[in-house]
Chains A and B, each alone.
Chain A
């Protein structure tokens, strides 16, 4: 077993473990922690493919930004449900069947497109700044505009709640 395989396995375990804890825990705070583990696993997967910049952005934006935002929202919003069952078993089974079917459909339809069992080890990416400010400048500007619109939308939404 090579270091590459171990790195991939570690990132995959973090992703799946975090996702499983989001699914199975009933406590919203623990669910947020599980989501953080999943996001770190995603960053590890980016690192595995050699995209260090993307992994850094993932940690900064998601683990440092969105996850903290989510934890604050949990603290503001969440109230204990007193052990109330989350869902009827019948609905649970149906949702599980749909989710398994969609995942299996992805694997079956895309398995011919991914080559070998494990991916090739990644090489370090070239300058992302050149790409973002060169070929992808329009998309980059659009992303900036989208974030600005998102910021204004958040202020409008929260402000409308304040006025009421």
Chain B
């Protein structure tokens, strides 16, 4: 029960950051909070369900890889947008509205 409470709390904090902050980097950090909480929850459920340790680690490693790729691409977009427009807040940029 405690891992569930901790992970749900951290996921909620990450969601709060994504919903309230306007800096791109802060929004990415909030997404990382949510991904980290989900990964710990995956490991906790896997351990509780009696899944093999190597299988859990392999699955969690895949989540980690996807999260790292997401962070790298997100930061590249942030740096590129900042260099093009000199701004780093979501409400300063309207050109990606479509």
| A-to-B contact residues, CB < 8 Å | 8, 12, 15-16, 19-20, 22-23, 28, 31-32, 35, 38-39, 42, 45-46, 49-51, 53-54, 57-58, 61-62, 65-66, 69-70, 73-74, 76-79, 86-87, 91-92, 94-96, 98-100, 102-104, 106-107, 110-111, 113-120, 122-128, 130-132, 135-136, 139-140, 143, 146-147, 149-151, 153-154, 157-158, 160-161, 164
In the complex, how many residue pairs between chain A and chain B have their CB atoms under 8 Å apart?
A: 245
CB–CB A23/B17 < 8 A: yes
Complex interface: chain A residues within 8 A of B17 (CB): 22-23
CB–CB B84/A35 < 8 A: no
Q: Which of B22, B33, B69 contacts A146 (CB 8 A)?
A: B69
* Size category, B interface: 35 or more
Decide: A22 near B43, CB < 8 A? Known: A51-B56, A62-B68, A131-B57.
no
CB–CB B71/A114 < 8 A: no
17 residue pairs bridging A and B, Cβ less than 8 Å apart = A22-B26, A51-B60, A54-B60, A77-B25, A86-B21, A86-B22, A87-B20, A87-B22, A95-B20, A106-B8, A114-B48, A131-B54, A131-B57, A153-B73, A154-B76, A157-B77, A158-B79
Closest approach, in angstroms, between the C-beta of B59 and any C-beta of chain A? 8
CB–CB A153/B43 < 8 A: no
CB–CB A73/B62 < 8 A: no
